[in-house]
Amino acid sequence: MPLREGEAIVLRTYRLGEADKIVSLFTRPFGRLRAAAAGAQRARTRYGGTLEPLSYIRVWFYERENRDLVRINSTELVESFFDMQKDYRMQVAAQYVAEVAERFFPERQANDRAFRLLLGVLRAMKRSGELGAPLLYFDYWLLRLEGFLPDLTRCAACGRVLDDGGYYGPASEGLCCADCRTPTTPRAVAASALELAESARGVTPEQWLGTSKPAAVCAAARRFLEDLIEAHAEKKLITRELLDAGV
């Protein structure tokens, strides 16, 4: 039973019995894992605050054959996002990132670009105290990395440039223009929102946050991308409802 080691982001934890926790981790070298942390609920736990949601940690764990759960041996904190989540709005936004990551990233499949995306977005939120622009960046790149992002510039049906925005529906594969619009594509997204979303391509989260973005356009772009995320997740996201409620 070899001891494995790697960087990880804690996505969420569940109570297990009286003193233990099950931890959902997104590790850099092994992908998403579920781990048991013995005694993690105790006041004097050896893990301290390292297993709090969204902590960026280094983890050492044992893995047994034919067991779904790995066993955490020890952890070390690399970067904490604890204080950022004291604000309820930020907590909801951070947990939205965790919920989407749990839904989209399959277990035991390493994805370094996704790991860097998660970390980059959390750092952007922590530094800026903003949530709209970092979440838009996250939504755009998540869909892009997972191969679900449609062409935001041309109609999927006729290929026309979407100068006046586009239309989409819950089951549509891409955007269509006003001429190709059908009853299955009832929702509209403005050209300015598509342009803003597309501007996340080829820039780091820091560069992205360096320019100001109109809040209404940012919200419209997020609404469109998050509709796509929910459609591909095939499930309503709990945290999205809270974000939409304007917490």
Partner 1 sequence: MSDFAEPLARLIDELKRLPGIGQKSAQRIAFHLLRDSPEVAKRLAAAIIDAKEKIRLCSLCNNFTERDPCRICSDSARDHSVVCIVETPYNALSVERTHEFRGLYHVLHGALSPLQGIGPEQLKLKNLMERLKNGDVKELIIATNPTVEGEATAIYISKLLKPLGIRVTRIATGVPVGSELEFADEVTMLKAIEGRREL
**Residue 80 to residues 26, 83, 186, 192, Cα–Cα distance (Å):** 15, 8, 42, 35
Tokens of 186: 């009832």
Report if residue 82 touches partner 1, rule: CB under 8 A.
yes
Contacts with partner 1, 29-48, as mask; x by CB under 8 A: --------------xx-xxx
Report if residue 239 touches partner 1, rule: CB under 8 A.
yes
Report if residue 60 touches partner 1, rule: CB under 8 A.
no
Interatomic CA distance for residues 205 and 183, integer angstroms = 37
- For 167, the enclosing helix (H) or strand (E) is strand 166-168
Which positions from 94 through 113 interact with partner 1, judged by CB under 8 A?
A: 95-96, 98-99
Report if residue 87 touches partner 1, rule: CB under 8 A.
yes
Report if residue 86 touches partner 1, rule: CB under 8 A.
yes
Nearer to partner 1, 96 or 167 (CB): 96
Q: Angle at Cα 90 formed by Cα 212 and Cα 146, nearest 5°?
A: 75
Report if residue 185 touches partner 1, rule: CB under 8 A.
no
- Shortest spacing between CB 18 and partner 1, in angstroms: 5
Tell me the CA end-to-end span of the chain in Å, nearest whole number: 46
Q: How many residues bind partner 1 (CB under 8 A)?
A: 34
Q: Which of 4, 42, 43 is nearest to 21 (CA)?
A: 42
Report if residue 88 touches partner 1, rule: CB under 8 A.
yes
Question: Which letter, b or e, does each residue of 53-70 get, where b requires 16 or more Cβ atoms within 10 Å of its Cβ?
Answer: bbbbbbbebeeeeeeeeb
Q: Contact positions toward partner 1, by CB under 8 A?
A: 12, 15, 17-18, 43-44, 46-50, 52-55, 76-77, 80, 82, 85-88, 91-92, 95-96, 98-99, 238-239, 242, 245, 247
